[in-house]
Amino acid sequence: MARGPLVLPLFLVLAALAIAVMIGIALSTRASTLELSAIQERAYALRRWWLSALIVVFAALFAITIPSFPYLKAAELTTAKHVPVTAEQFAFPMPAMLPVNTPIVFDVTSKDVNHGFGIYDPESRLLAQVQAMPDYVNHLAVDFKEPGKYTVRCMEFCGVGHAYMQATFEVR
Amino acid sequence: MAQTIVHDTHATHGLTHHEIENLRPDDLRSARRLMWVWVDTGLAIFALMALLGVTMRAEQAGWISFGPDVFYSILTLHGVGMISAMALATMGGIWYMMRLEGPLDERVAYWAYGFIVAGVVAVIVSVFPGKFGAAWTFLYPLPFIGATWAPWATGAFLTGMMLVSVGWSIWCVQLLGCIMQRHGSLRNAMGWDYIFHNRAFTEAGKQPPSAQSFAAMVASIDGLLTGAAGMVIGVALLAHLFNPSVQIDPLWAKNVTYFFGHAIANLTIYMACAWVYVGVPRYAGRSYHTSVPLAVAWWGTLIFVLLAYFHHLYMDFVQAQALQYIGEAFSYLSALPTVVVTIFSCLMLVYRSKMRWTLGSIFIYTGLIGWVVGGIGALLDASIPFNNNLHNTLWVPAHFHTYMLGGVLLFVLGFVFMMLEERTGVASALALRWLVGTTVFGGMSTFLLGFYVAGAAGVPRRYATEPPPGPHVASWATVGAIVMLVGMAIAMIEGIRMATTKPQGRLS
């Protein structure tokens, strides 16, 4: 799933909120001055609330994200169609065509240095990725729901041809 | 209109005037000179690296073209140089503060400085003329396969990284020794009794370590582990360089490299915290003391900095899954000490205070904003489902530039101007503050937004030539970067003017 387009508005909203609060506090110095002791008790109560809220948010976030972790279970590995990919400076030798609506597991490794195997959908959105590392095989599961032309780009700096290291394949 | 500086009566660099007066004037001047050597070197390297950074963005925008080999050499130097620059500046600042608290041998500090500068010079030589271009990450086995540079350049680069690690480690040992000597033991330096036997501690009339001492302690302990990791990976790769039959596990190498790189970059902002603890209360005219939450927060930071680095390996699915969980959990946890204690306390100090908005305080306060905003970007990236779509895109330089440039650098500049304002006794004119503020923060926001927009669109990082919308975004981001650098140049000229103006301040 391409979550890139979702993350920018989320970031901008959170950042704008944080900036607004901090500018507001900066502007408060134009109002009449208070002794620190006059605000300390309320501030410490607010801090306790703030700590509790953050712990709840982070714990919830952690729990919510776990089901979306891309790491495969053994069962998923056995039932899918496997596509081996051995990256090398500066190419991804791989099939030109892959089936739509079929669970696929890319078995990704590298012949030489570290590469990144990033799959972009026909709308150029980054759909999924995994590292291609020598001596290791990473298994990336993808089920292409949309037919069309997909592009693979290298996502780990691998040398002078890094920006030109790409491949395309058709999903039908 | 110029603003006259009124010194607060509470503290000077976090210490009482009585304590600072315990230092002989010659020792104070000498310590301050040493501190300026570190800070000025850091800022000079920053200026050079910033120009290289803008050059790379201009290349990505298609404004200029010097080819991928030169681009990746510049990228390598920019990465190592910027981290070294920020480390040098913050190391100098924190060294000075600890010198005000206890004895520190300047010769040892100059040795540490010498090793780091020699390391940076070796890295520069490896890049120009050596053409080394394996990025600061130098992920094994990249420096040795398909290299467009000579083996000696790899040797020079690795030697440079080793020298930086040695200098860094010397600094850590010296600082940790100073802190332990001042407080009698590591237990005291960490505030153990202050936290767990608070009543007895307080009734005995004891004082806990200063806030900046906690920052120094965490930097030096974590720094020693980081420096050791840097030297281990450096030795391993040098062994492979001289004897290619020496094989290294790529996953192990990646873990050690990112542990080293992540921690050293992350620690710079925690080191800069020491200045924030001194600067914010000073400008706000309020006092700030060590508290139990602050001590506990620094204990947390001590651990979280070391364990969050696993988020760099989320896309290495062969990494033990437990480590991926730890990476996400500790990335979240690392936010707590910052936003619940340090930043919250600073905001509390500023709220409805008599804050003096000089260039120094403006830089420090906006540095806090940059830290928070960069942290939000980092936390989103540290969430594995998002990382799936953001890993190694321009989102990564987006958030780390936000807290390195919009956080660490601004804290450095804030500290520099705080010292200069103290020296001259007069703050910069209002019009100049507006001019610097508008250009630096306007330009910086535009520059940084370019990374976020392109990163969210999936544009990969470290591409000399980017796919759409990279070049278009890079065009306006480059304009932002140029405006920001113009603002910084104006600030630099103002800084030089203040440094050369006849002193009026008390601590001249």
| Residues 105-144, chain A, touching B (beta carbon < 8 A) | 112-114, 116, 118, 120, 124-131, 133-140
Q: What's the ipTM?
A: 0.96
Closest CA to A5 of B221, B404, B454: B454
Per-residue model confidence as pLDDT tens digits over B278-332? 999 999 999 998 999 999 999 999 999 999 999 999 999 999 999 999 999 999 9
Q: What is the CATH number of the domain that holds B142?
A: 1.20.210.10
Q: Would you call B464 an interface residue with chain A, using a CB distance cutoff of 8 Å?
A: yes
* Domain assignment of residue B330, yes or no: no
Count the alpha carbons within 13 Å of A63 in the hemisphere toward its beta carbon.
6
Q: For residue B442, is it within any domain?
A: yes
Three-class DSSP category at A107 = strand
Q: Is the pLDDT of residue B18 over 70?
A: no
Q: Could you give the C-alpha distances from B50 to A105, B265, B453, B462, in angstroms and in order?
A: 42, 17, 21, 16
> How confident is residue B503, by pLDDT bands cut at 50, 70 and 90?
confident
Spatial distance between the Cα atoms of B124 and A133, rounded to a whole number of angstroms: 29
B235, B261, B295 - which closes a domain: B295
Quick check: pTM over 0.80? yes
Looking at the complex, report in whole angstroms how far the Cα of residue A123 sits from the nearest Cα belonging to chain B. Answer: 10
Contacts of residue B428, Cβ cutoff 8 Å, sequence gap at least 6:
B2, B3, B358, B359, B417, B421, B436, B494, B498
Q: Is residue B328 part of a domain?
A: no
Which pLDDT does position B6 carry in this prediction?
Answer: 42
In a domain, B11, yes or no: no
CA nearest neighbour of A92 among A33, A143, A168, A3: A168
pLDDT beyond 60 at B49? yes
How many CB pairs below 8 Å do chains A and B form together? Answer: 236
Strand partners of residue B460: B393
Residue ending a domain, choose from B246, B262, B295 = B295
Q: Are B116 and B73 in contact (CB under 8 A)?
A: no
CA distance A63 to chain B (A): 10
B87 plus B208 within the same structural domain: yes
Is a pLDDT exceeding 80 seen at residue B22? Answer: no
Question: What is the band of B23 on the pLDDT scale with cuts at 50, 70, 90?
Answer: confident
What is the number of domains present in chain B? 2
Q: Which domains does chain A have, with CATH numbers?
A: 4-68 (no CATH), 74-171 (2.60.40.420)
Residues B274 and B183 in one domain: yes
Ordered DSSP codes for B446-484: HHHHHHHHHHHTTPBSS-SSPPTTHHHHHHHHHHHHHHH
Mapped onto helix, strand or coil, the DSSP state of residue B193 is: helix
Q: Is residue B10 part of a domain?
A: no
Domain extent, residue B222, equals 22-295
Residues in A touching B141 (Cβ below 8 Å)? 112-113, 134
Quick one: B370 and B285 in the same domain? no
A155 and B460 within 8 Å at the Cβ level: the answer is yes
Which residues are bridge partners to A119 per DSSP?
A128, A152
Last residue of a domain, one of B243, B263, B295: B295
Residues 6 or more apart whose CB falls under 8 angstroms from that of B334 comprise: B300, B301, B304, B305, B308
Residue B321 and residue B305: Cα distance in Å, rounded? 20
pLDDT at B248 over 50: yes
Instruction: Please give the pLDDT value at position B50.
Output: 98
CA B433 – CA B498 distance, rounded (Å): 14
Residue B76 in contact with residue B122, Cβ under 8 Å? no
B332 occurs within a structural domain: no
* Same-domain pairing of B279 and B384: no
Does residue B245 share a domain with residue B377?
A: no
Tell me: pLDDT of B55 over 50.
yes
Q: Give the percent of chain A with pLDDT over 90.
A: 92
**B425: in domain:** yes
**B274 and B145 inside one domain:** yes
Q: Are A8 and B301 in contact (CB under 8 A)?
A: no
User: Is B460 in Cβ contact with A118 (below 8 Å)?
Assistant: yes
Q: Give the pLDDT band (50/70/90) at residue B90.
A: very high
**Diameter of chain B by CA atoms?**
69
Q: Flag whether B483 is in a domain.
A: yes
Residue A86 pLDDT level (bands cut at 50, 70, 90): very high
Q: How far apart are CA A87 and CA A127, in angstroms?
A: 18
